[in-house]
Amino acid sequence: MNAPSITTTAPTDAVTRRFDLAAALKDSGKSALITLGLAIPILSYRTEQSGADLFLSQRWGLVAIMCALVFGLRLFLHAFTATKAYRQATPSAHQATEPVHAEPSAFQHVSKFAIPFFLGIALAFPFLIVMIQGGLGESRYWIDLGVLILTYVMLGWGLNIVVGLAGLLDLGYVAFYAVGAYSYALLSTTFGLSFWICLPLAGILAAMWGIILGFPVLRLRGDYLAIVTLAFGEIIRLVLINWVDLTNGGAGISSIPRATFFGIPFTNDEGGFANLFGLEFHTMHRGIFLYYLILGLALLTNFVTMRLRKLPVGRAWEALREDEIACRSLGINTTNTKLTAFALGAMFGGFAGSFFAVRQGFVSPESFNFLESAIILAIVVLGGMGSQIGVAIAAIVLVGGPEILRNLTFLQAVFGAGFDPNEYRLLLFGIGMVAMMVWRPRGLISEREPSVILKERKAISGSLVKEGHG
Amino acid sequence: MRWLQDPILDVQHLTMRFGGLVAVNDLSFQAGRGDITALIGPNGAGKTTVFNCITGFYKPTEGMIALRKPDGSHLLLERLPGFDINWRAKVARTFQNIRLFSGMTVLENLLVAQHNPLMIASGFTFLGVLGLGGYRRAEKEAIEKAKFWLEKTRLIDRADDPAGDLPYGDQRRLEIARAMCTDPLLLCLDEPAAGLNPRESLELNHLLLSIRKDHGTSILLIEHDMSVVMEISDHVVVLDYGTKISDGTPSEVRNDPKVIAAYLGVADEEEVQQVVAEIGA
Amino acid sequence: MEIFVQQLINGLTLGSIYGLIAIGYTMVFGIIGMVNFAHGDVFMLSAFIALIFFLILTTWLGISSIALALLIVLIVAMVLTSLWGWAIERIAYRPLRGSFRLAPLISAIGVSIFLANFVQVAQGARNKPIPPMVQDVIVLFQGASGYNVAISYKQIIIMAVTAVLLTIFWYLVQKTSLGRAQRACEQDRKMASLLGINVDRTISLTFVIGAALASVAGTMYLLYYGVVSFNDGFVPGVKAFTAAVLGGIGSLPGAVLGGLIIGLIETFWSAYFSIEYKDVAAFSILAIVLIFMPSGILGRPEVEKV
């Protein structure tokens, strides 16, 4: 974060550029100085509480390390780009001024073999993990992680309908996730309904809320729509906190009935799952069931989306993203079309929400803050708007990536025992979001697949695809 | 005066104000069924505003725009919601600065234009998503229709290319093809020949004439290119500063001193006479 | 009546702070058409900078004059926060200029997440209180029920500082060539650059000014509430954005007016209805304003071009 990105300050006379040590040193020094400026006082002093008073402790060593780090990194970047530029002879002037339009095609043709591959991995994942880890208990962490990633894949696919296909920027998607989770929690705790009845109900309720919230806001355009949806997301969260009679406030709703295998509970007794299927009882049976449940839900989302893309409504969504005015001139009822996208996205959010509730057995407003919406949106945008496989990859990167931090405990040897890499999870997540946008503003897979072909299939370059204005 | 006997479009006392600015002032004209009607006038005369009123993008401040169907019934366009002007009144339009779905293929553009019939065929998505009903057949027919228009506009070879990749002239033709895919009774073209070279412009003339002849679609067009206007139109309406200054056949309008004055920018009646004398009209 | 006047004073104080933040949103939106999501967190960061310098000045350097300390803190916070504003634009937004429209928004959300967590990691997750600096109040009048309507020195300072800085800033934007360049970039960036305006520098300066004003707001916030925490950026940020929209985005007087209105609504809502739902009220106003009058009070309506 403290290192200015190289693309912004690359000298424009790239043709004759060689490694100019003096200039590089000067620039790196400047960057280090800026880092120093940014580090004062927020990094150099730490406020500590003792009793009622605050006092300051100094950490100039840390600042020095940061500045040195930035200096070194910057110098390295200079050297690296200089040699790269030297190798590449003459990069076009266009690249120098507008680096963002460069579209390398490393990921573009990934989808052909990747879809069966990913599907196979996803289906076999629990067995692979159990085999690798050598037991059900040992693979708990990995299966939980798989469930977590798949939840975000599903949310990403749901939001992709709204943002990626219809081009409507929704920053409050988590509201529908919350509606789904709370619907499930309330329906199952008050009326004792089973998961398979609650699931569609939760989805329908979320879709209904999608329509209620969507109807007034869908004539807004661009960032305004984003902000209103954000406001709605926050309103729903605040209502969940404050409407204690219904939602039990910030304490949340607990003791939500656990998932059952189509009515057969995962218990260690007579009618239990293990007993019935002649297996030895293990708590991970439920975990694996949940894994396949969310995988099924995610694949359902994917299937419906892929199907809709080839139907008139899906084409109308994409046309809406491209040009709303032209849509209206062609007789498309733009309000209804937007509403269907909003409602459908909300419905899948609701499904994911009720899955969340049944998995956790507990819901509280804390789980549905703005950060969740931001993560889901980041997954969609990073994936490449509209690309299903891109969204799945992005979910793995963004949700799975930070998990690596958990395993970096060896860093404690470097930074001392008090060092917890997990603290830096969100910090690095933020940096990652910025870096990924600078690196690939159109996401990992920006090409668009046509929904219908006459003779031959040609992918459509991302630079032609519009991002919508709503 | 066929346009008075059987008008497809009847505009009465149309006025459009933007704040204090009067863009269109008490305009009345008719467009005849089966005619090619041209709306001309100097820049800023209010032609596109008239178009936007007819096609529902602006609600006129005053006045009435009636579309008469072949069965004699009529629809008041200013009362219809924007999308119904295409779907129910069967008025299609193109745009001055082309509005294609540039990230979608040429074929997809033409299928989006057939949204409403396809939507019904897919049982409003519910049957389509389950693979029931006659959606497959309906889509095949829609593709056939798209192919017909692609052949007619000589775009068939580019059917699978993104619309944004087409050269300018092709984009203009594609926009017309897309509008025609909605089976319009009245096709409104906003400067269809703008930016075309003479050959393309000639080709456009043939296309428009054939649309009128083979499909019975009436055409209303805004155009600056007089070779297009004079050659193919049956009826010309001239606007200047939002008011109609002339209305008649191309030859009548061509010889109207007021039109010449408007185009040459003379205000005085005497000067007009002088100009007329000079150019020997 | 007494409560009403008291809430009016409180609301105007709070509104001044929102107004100062709102200017940053409105200017950035005006010039590059982007909601600078991280602006609320820049505000929070500046409050921390102010907090630390207060501690340095009062405990280490032993400056006893509160007025002097406040002045120094204000200047230092403005300078350092400006640097942050500049650096954020340079690193996270400039490379994305002229790109995909969503990219800068996502990038801004990333910066927002980064800043909040950076401050959390650097300063700890707990609320940071400072001893009250200015405590005196002036009793304006006493109501029949014995309720004192008072204005505190703090509130006077906040309103006065806001007014003075707004005037200076207003002059800067209206009368100098910087302001002219800014307005030119708002209208047409490409044309402005063809006419020799350094667009990059103008945009940088916009961010710097926005950050500087946010730091004034941050300092005032610290002075007023005496406590700040790492997640104090989001909600005031959204409220200030509401203010900017309410006043008419792109309009500077609108931002201040919107800020005052939001401040008043919030205090009156808390006083007369329910304090729990005060944020719901603010967010609802945001939604209602955007839906029913998207051009705000002083903004120009956007005409849909066909």
pLDDT digits (tens, 9 = 90+) for A71-95: 888 888 888 877 665 556 544 444 4
**Does B84 reach chain A within 8 Å, measured CB to CB?**
yes
Burial group, residue B253, by CB count within 10 angstroms (0-12, 13-18, 19+): buried
Question: In chain C, what are the helix, strand and coil shares in percent, each to the nearest 5?
Answer: 75, 5, 20
Separation between Cα atoms, residue C84 and residue C90, nearest integer Å: 10
Does residue A332 fall inside a structural domain? yes
The confidence band for A18, taking pLDDT boundaries of 50, 70 and 90, is low
For residue C10, pLDDT beyond 70: yes
A160 and A29 within one domain: no
Instruction: List chain A residues with CB under 8 Å of C120.
Output: 423, 427
Beta bridge partners, B40, equal B238
Average pLDDT over residues A220-233: 81
The confidence band for A418, taking pLDDT boundaries of 50, 70 and 90, is low
Average pLDDT over residues C168-189: 82
A22 and A88 within one domain: yes
pLDDT of residue B253: 81
Separation between Cα atoms, residue A297 and residue A286, nearest integer Å: 16
Sheet holding B7-18, edge to edge: B21-32, B7-18, B62-68, B74-76
The confidence band for A106, taking pLDDT boundaries of 50, 70 and 90, is very low
CB A357 within 8 A of CB A185: yes
Compute CA distances A74 → C92, C110, C134, whole Å: 16, 22, 45
pLDDT of residue C304: 57
A146 and A11 within one domain: no
pLDDT of residue A88: 60
Q: Is the ipTM of this complex over 0.90?
A: no
The confidence band for C16, taking pLDDT boundaries of 50, 70 and 90, is very high
Higher model confidence: residue A450 or residue A98?
Answer: A450
CB contact under 8 A, A331 and B178: no
Average pLDDT over residues A356-373: 88
Residue in C37, C106, B163, B165 with CA at minimum distance from that of residue A443 = C106
Q: For chain B, give every domain's residue range.
A: 1-90+183-248, 102-182
CB C266 within 8 A of CB C278: yes
Separation between Cα atoms, residue A145 and residue A287, nearest integer Å: 11
Residue ending a domain, choose from A44, A64, A98: A98
- What integer best gives the mean pLDDT of chain C? 86
What are C219's two structure tokens? 């300092």
- Give domain B1-90+183-248's CATH architecture: 3-Layer(aba) Sandwich (3.40)
Average pLDDT over residues A97-118: 54
Q: Which residues of chain B have pLDDT under 50?
A: 281
Domain with A61, as residue range(s), is: 6-98
Average pLDDT over residues A450-461: 76
Residue in A closest to C79 by C-alpha: A37
pLDDT of residue A10: 42
Instruction: List chain A residues with CB under 8 Å of C113.
Output: 371, 374, 426-427, 429-430, 433
Average pLDDT over residues C34-60: 89
Q: What tens digit of pLDDT does each residue of C89-133 get?
A: 999 998 888 777 778 888 999 999 999 999 998 888 888 888 777
Residue in B161, B169, C136 with CA at minimum distance from that of residue A460 = B161
**Does B210 reach chain A within 8 Å, measured CB to CB?**
no
Q: What's the gap in Å between the CA of C5 and the closest CA on chain A?
A: 28
A287 and A346 within one domain: yes
Average pLDDT over residues A243-271: 78
Q: Chain A window 256-315: which residues touch B at a Cβ cutoff of 8 Å?
A: 304, 307-308, 311-313, 315
Does residue A80 fall inside a structural domain? yes
Average pLDDT over residues C228-252: 87
Separation between Cα atoms, residue C276 and residue A239, nearest integer Å: 9
Domain total of chain A: 2
Q: Chain A window 330-359: which residues touch B at a Cβ cutoff of 8 Å?
A: 330-334, 340
A146 and A224 within one domain: yes
Q: Chain B window 156-175: which residues touch A at a Cβ cutoff of 8 Å?
A: 159-162, 164-165
Q: For chain C, give every domain's residue range.
A: 2-233
What are A52's two structure tokens? 């009622």
